[in-house]
Amino acid sequence: MALRTEDFDLLADVEALLGDVRRWSEHLPDWPASRACEILTQRLAQRADHLRVRLEAPLIVATLGGTGTGKSTLVNALVGEEVTVAGRQRPTTRRPMFICQPRVTPEMVGIDPQAVEVVQRDVPALRDLVLVDCPDPDTSETAGDEQLAATNLGRLRALLPHCDVLLVTATQQKYRSARVLDELATAAAGAKLVFVQTHADTESDIREDWRGVLGEHYEVGAMFLVDSPQALADARAGLAPRGEFGRLVELLQGSLARSAAKRIRRSNLLELIDETLAACAQRWDAGLPPVVQLEAALAEQRAQLNARLVEQTRDELLANRRLWEDRLLTEVAGRWGFSPFAVVLRGYQGIGQLIGGAALWRVRTPVQMALWGAATGWRTWQRDRRRRYAEAGTDRAVALAWDDAQLRTAAIIVDGYATEAGGPRVATAPAALQAEAAMAGNAFVQSTATQLQTLISRLAEGHARWTVRGIYELLLAAMVVLILFRAGKNFFYDSWLATEPSPVLGSDFFLHAGFWLLVWCGVLLAMFTGRLRRGLQREILGVCESWRTGNSGAMLFARVEDHCRQLHRSRRELEQLQARTTLLTAHLADPDARLGGKRTTASLAGPATSEVNS
């Protein structure tokens, strides 16, 4: 039967989802849970390939049940003749029986013909179905991993991924079998389930109790209570199927035949994708707590290193007042122009530039670099730094914001958490630590110098207002006017016009006047710079407090942080894939309400056996 347009659309959506799952698994960060997820998605791809192979093939219906639950007898009843040997108390079926019409072969549905015994019958019951009588999962056979494939259990596990519908058989004695339930949990992902209680002629109805056993992990659907020997006898007598067995035949040979097979396979594939993604999420979430602890340890160590750097910065900012005071005076003088007190400030600032230039050769830490950069200009500092590096080599001590002991202690702590989280270990070699510290130190220098420059500009603007400027200009002008008045009065009045003329003041007067003018300028400068110093100290302490909440060590242990970030990003991508799977499942109509299936793993209260575990 040809595929319809909506079939192609849904297949395209499912194929796109599978492709995205594969790409997600291929780009996972190196992590233990990632490797488990890669195995899960690889097996998902294999199962998807099996489904593609049999997309147009008949529906594969297999039996699954414990020893003596009547699987072979049920198969004979469905076919209408004895095609497989039945036995109640021993594992009669050792090699899977592949029962089909003559036009069908195991290769058509992706099954190795050497792994099954093919029985071909040209009967109406097999028109749209292939029946597989599987080995018993609760056999007493034992084998190692190498010999498992040759056992009943190995043959069963190799065959079940190829099946679309499982006829789960049980009896009053076997419906609670732990071994069978384990194999059912493994096989149920990617298959629809039909639950059948056999031996209706000799046993009580245990379907309600069986439903309670299965209800936690499975959507049970309809349950059938059948008498397989009587059904086979009716078929041989030419009678139509009747009772519970008749309803089972109608489900398998009517409702699930033809186009329903495609819906079942699409539904099975989506369930398989959901099961795989849920298993990946379970492994991912199990490994995340150590990663969260690693991130907390990383943040704690960075905070401690940041606190040390802030303390060092604050102390050096307060100890090197002359540098930032000189830069602030330069800003203020530039805004005042060439007024008398501005000239005094420029002279004082010229001396400061000489001191600042000499201080450059004593720069040894990022804080001192930032101070000098704020005092004399960032470009000048960069140019001079390149020249000094070229002459003396890369002086790592200049770029280090922390000493080796602090860095190595933090690296050892982060290293321990990274090992527990399964992430990349921190490179604790001195050269690697110094390189990271150099990058962090240079970034801190640039940020600090920029903030200091902004702070100085803001303070300069406040101190250049006329309400402040006028006071100092007036006080300086008063001293100058007083000296000029005294000299003018002596020259014009005391020596000429006075009744008793006095001699003209000599050079001693002007020397003393100059001295006291300098003293007065010094007093005014002390008043003004003290005002600047107090304001700037408040601002410096405030900006240092703001640095405490910053992250000056963001470039330290960047590889570890990037690994953690990739893990969280991959987890979010996994959630998106799960959401898409849920949406596609909701758009796919239920092939038949009587079919059962495994509940999605995310909704289960307890873990179930996964395909990978087996």
Mean pLDDT of 387-391: 40
pLDDT of 609: 34
Residue 89 pLDDT exceeds 50: no
Looking at the whole model, is its pTM more than 0.75?
A: no
Token pair 């990632």 in the structure block, residue: 34
Ramachandran class of 122: left when φ > 0, alpha when ψ lies in -120 to 50, beta otherwise: beta
d(CA 339, CA 91): 112
Q: Is the per-residue pLDDT at 298 higher than 50?
A: yes
> What is the Cα–Cα distance from 451 to 445, expressed in whole angstroms?
10
Tokens 């009967």 sit on residue? 123
pLDDT of residue 196: 94
Which of residues 112 and 602 earns the better pLDDT score? 112
- Res 524: pLDDT: 87
Label residue 428 by pLDDT band (50, 70, 90): low
What Cα–Cα distance (Å) separates residue 21 from each residue in 51, 65, 482, 577?
Answer: 17, 33, 90, 7
Structure tokens of 89?
A: 């108390």
Average pLDDT in the chain: 77
Give the model confidence (pLDDT) of 50-79 as tens digits: 777 666 778 889 998 888 888 999 999 999
Please, are residues 191 and 51 in contact by the beta-carbon 8 Å criterion? no
Residue 480 DSSP one-character state: H
Question: What are 305-345's pLDDT values in tens digits?
Answer: 877 877 777 777 777 666 667 777 777 777 777 778 778 87
Q: What angle do CA 255, 217, 156 make, to 5 degrees?
A: 70
d(CA 320, CA 311): 14
Q: Which of 190-194, 320-324, 528-532 has the lowest mean pLDDT?
A: 320-324
| 3-class secondary structure per residue, 67-132 | CCCCHHHHHHHHHCCCCCCCCCCCCCCCCCEEEECCCCCHHHHCCCHHHCEEEECCCHHHCCEEEE
- Distance from C-alpha of 562 to C-alpha of 559, rounded to nearest angstrom: 5
pLDDT at 251: 87
Residue that wins the pLDDT comparison between 276 and 450:
276
Tell me the CA distances in angstroms from 305 to 123, 310, 365, 428, 437, one per residue in order: 81, 9, 15, 16, 11
> Of 366 and 436, which is predicted with more confidence?
436
Q: Give the pLDDT of residue 178.
A: 80
CA distances for 185 relative to 45, 121, 181, 275, 315, angstroms: 20, 32, 6, 11, 67
Count Cβ atoms below 10 Å from residue 603 Cβ, excluding itself.
Answer: 8
Partners of 597 in beta bridges:
219
Nearest partner of 399 among 380, 415, 385, judged by Cα: 385
Tokens representing 80?
A: 């209408």
Structure tokens that stand for 196 in this block: 């059948």
Instruction: Average the pLDDT over 234-245 and give the result.
Output: 91
Per-residue pLDDT at 491: 84
